[in-house]
Amino acid sequence: YAHDVMVQADPGIGVMLSDYDNLSYNRLAVFSGVVENENMTKVKAYDGQTLDFSKPHSMRVVQQ
């Protein structure tokens, strides 16, 4: 919880991250492949805002 993360997802799999608990308020982004922590600091979320997902509060694995 609120620690640095790195995503490593196989083809067809994504990792949905949120900077809020329980994937709330549509402040979400899905990352696939290999994404280093420093590349998660300025990402456009589903709600249109540019957010920092480098220390997410919630996550889910999803099929793409």
Contacts of 51 (CB under 8 A, 6+ apart): 19, 27, 29, 42, 43, 44, 45
pLDDT at 1: 73
Name the pairing type of β-strands 33-35 and 7-9.
Answer: antiparallel
Q: pLDDT per residue over 15-31, tens digit each?
A: 999 999 999 999 999 99
What are the boundaries of each domain within the chain? 7-63
| pLDDT beneath 70: ranges in the chain | none
CATH code assigned to 7-63? 2.60.20.40
Per-residue pLDDT at 57: 96
